[in-house]
Amino acid sequence: MPIAVGQPAPDFVLKDQNQQEVKLSDFRGKKNVVLMFYPLDWSPVCTNEHACFVNDMKQFEQLSAQVLGISVDSVWSHKAFAEKTGIRYPLLADFQPRGSVADKFGVFLADKGITGRAIAIVDKAGKVAWFKNYD
């Protein structure tokens, strides 16, 4: 079951496309965080979704929001995908154990072995302020 609005967001540490560790709680008190869960790098729908985020980055910055993309792909796939598509925000590898962070938010599709498409907005206090699970 997906996480509910108002709940504390589960903390996590994942590596990004540059192999840097990103910890959700490091943003607490500093920035809102937009967690963009998506199935896979390179798929047409995910590529188009990321293009929208890339094009709107100024708006996220104006709202003091940090975008974090999360999928089960490896850091190496994320690195190539980010370079090819111009993504400058962190793409986090929920790779090992596969989908463990997505599962904490209720969006891991175990039968398919991928992350579902969802967006969670975590406020500066570390609580889920908004959540949407997409088909």
Residues annotated as part of the active site: 46
Q: Largest alpha-carbon pair distance within the chain?
A: 39
Residue 34, both tokens: 């937009």
Half-sphere CA count of 87, side-chain side, radius 13 A: 31
**Other CB atoms within 10 Å distance of the CB of residue 50:** 22
According to DSSP, the β-strands at 114-115 and 21-23 are: unpaired
Contact (Cβ atoms closer than 8 angstroms) between residue 102 and residue 110: no
Choose among 54, 60, 66: nearest CA to 26: 66
Contact (Cβ atoms closer than 8 angstroms) between residue 37 and residue 73: no
